[in-house]
């Protein structure tokens, strides 16, 4: 067969003996990769008369798009909301460690903080592709707060919460300092002047998410009509579902969503934040909008004990995370404060709790977050010409290897080999 060199000097890698997640189905076919992109084998064979330079036997693994985590506060001892002049080293550590959990791209998330923290940290966030150094930083940060409800602040420090004054959008700019490295902003839509802020953020290409809120359904619908497209950790830190006014949860089946618009919603599928029945209700009501998030904090990957979440100290007990001292201050209550679950754990729990297909579980952590961010043409799928960020998994959805731009960046060690 003629050489491939007439088109490109880059080697062509053929992944064989695998089941590829493509077009919402696991398909038994090979995966072809060149120069970090997924190739169309028909074009390769018939237009280029090309062939593979390297063949890799996947031993009947599932090949799925790399996971995308749009809400991760830190991990492995790193807290993205702690002001430091060496933010890069923390990002580097987390991005390297999450490769073993199948995450190939993420949005570092900052919880409610004083303006000085945003001003110090945001300029240090570099939007970058993933690679051997770690998962890519997707389009920018997720800023969760401080424009949220005091009643539903959760683990966010009350003294740092803010409202929109007459300046509205200018208030937000003054708080954050800049939006250059921001991709998602979580706010409470019931706040005065929130609609104009949502509209302005949307114009600038920033995803607006509704969360930590006491909004009723009509307020949530108005926010969506002004451009909001996401719900931050559905069910958590919002009014509970009520049959006469379902609140933000009602967006999942609302008939007031603008034509052509899809509302996505994040869920922390760790077995702690959301009862399996609630996961099933949400998934069955609006399956194409479900986005799995970890909401992971600095304690992810570490032993139980005390860790930080921005301005707060949190206590980790197994998979439970609470504001430290909360039980003493408010007897009988415990405020959940993020998660220590990894993304692959969330995918497995979601699949088990809902009984959904393997394909559906994998897409909730890959395709759907990519669609939310408007990058599904290059991330979150294994379509031809998309970025070759993918995972090899076994039938129980445990990650065996992680690839970014077609290069292996992590592999599970096999004992005795």
Known binding site for Zn(2+): residues? 144, 212, 233
Going by the annotation, the residues of the binding site for substrate are 155, 236-237, 244, 273, 336-338
Q: Which of 295, 344, 387, 389 is catalytic?
A: 295
DSSP readout, 23-76? Answer: TTEEEE--EEEETTEE--HHIIIIIS----SEEEEEEEEEEEEPEEEEEE-EET
Locus of tokens 């930083």: 137
CA distance 202 to 361: 29
The answer to whether residue 245 is catalytic is: no
Q: Which of 38, 46, 50 is CA-nearest to residue 385?
A: 38
Going by the annotation, the residues of the binding site are 144, 155, 212, 233, 236-237, 244, 273, 336-338
- Residues in contact with 404: Cβ distance below 8 Å, sequence separation at least 6, in sequence order: 66, 99, 104, 129, 130, 131, 132, 135, 136, 388, 389
CA distance 189 to 149: 9
Residue 270: DSSP 8-state: S
C-beta of residue 288 within 8 angstroms of C-beta of residue 253 = no
C-beta of residue 233 within 8 angstroms of C-beta of residue 273 = yes
Enzyme catalytic residues: 295
């Amino acid at each position: 067969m003629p050489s491939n060199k007439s088109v490109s000097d880059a080697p062509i890698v053929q992944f064989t003996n695998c089941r590829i997640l493509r077009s919402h189905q696991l398909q038994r076919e090979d995966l072809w990769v060149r120069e970090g992109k997924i190739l169309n084998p028909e074009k390769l064979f018939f237009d280029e008369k090309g062939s593979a330079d390297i063949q890799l036997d996947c031993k009947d693994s599932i090949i799925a798009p790399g996971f995308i985590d749009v809400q991760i506060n830190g991990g492995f001892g790193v807290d993205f909301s702690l002001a430091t002049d060496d933010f890069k080293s923390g990002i580097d550590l987390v991005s390297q460690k999450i490769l073993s959990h199948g995450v190939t791209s993420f949005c570092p998330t900052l919880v409610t903080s004083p303006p000085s923290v945003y001003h110090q940290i945001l300029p240090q966030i570099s939007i970058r592709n993933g690679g051997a150094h770690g998962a890519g930083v997707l389009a920018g940060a997720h800023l969760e707060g401080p424009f949220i409800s005091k009643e539903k602040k959760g683990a966010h420090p009350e003294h740092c919460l803010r409202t929109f004054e007459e300046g509205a959008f200018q208030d937000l700019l003054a708080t954050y300092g800049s939006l250059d490295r921001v991709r998602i902003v979580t706010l409470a839509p019931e706040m005065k002047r929130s609609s104009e802020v949502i509209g302005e953020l949307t114009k600038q290409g920033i995803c607006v998410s509704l969360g930590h809120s006491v909004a009723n359904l009509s307020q949530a619908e108005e926010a969506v009509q002004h451009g909001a497209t996401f719900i931050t950790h559905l069910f958590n830190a919002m009014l509970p579902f009520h049959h006469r006014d379902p609140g933000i949860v009602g967006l999942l089946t609302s008939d007031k969503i603008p034509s052509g618009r899809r509302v996505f919603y994040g869920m922390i599928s760790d077995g702690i934040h959301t009862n399996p029945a609630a996961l099933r209700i949400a998934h069955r009501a609006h399956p194409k909008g479900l986005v799995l998030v970890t909401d992971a904090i600095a304690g992810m990957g570490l032993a139980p004990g005390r860790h930080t979440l921005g301005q707060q100290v949190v206590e980790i007990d197994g998979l439970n995370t609470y504001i430290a001292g909360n039980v003493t201050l408010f007897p009988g209550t415990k405020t959940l404060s993020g998660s220590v679950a990894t993304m692959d754990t969330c995918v497995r729990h979601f699949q088990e709790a809902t009984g959904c297909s393997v394909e559906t579980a994998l897409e909730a952590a890959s395709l759907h977050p990519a669609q939310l961010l408007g990058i599904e043409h290059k991330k979150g799928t294994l379509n031809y010409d998309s970025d070759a960020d993918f995972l090899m998994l076994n039938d129980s959805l445990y990650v065996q290897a992680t690839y970014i731009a077609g290069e292996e960046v992590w592999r599970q060690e096999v004992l005795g080999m």
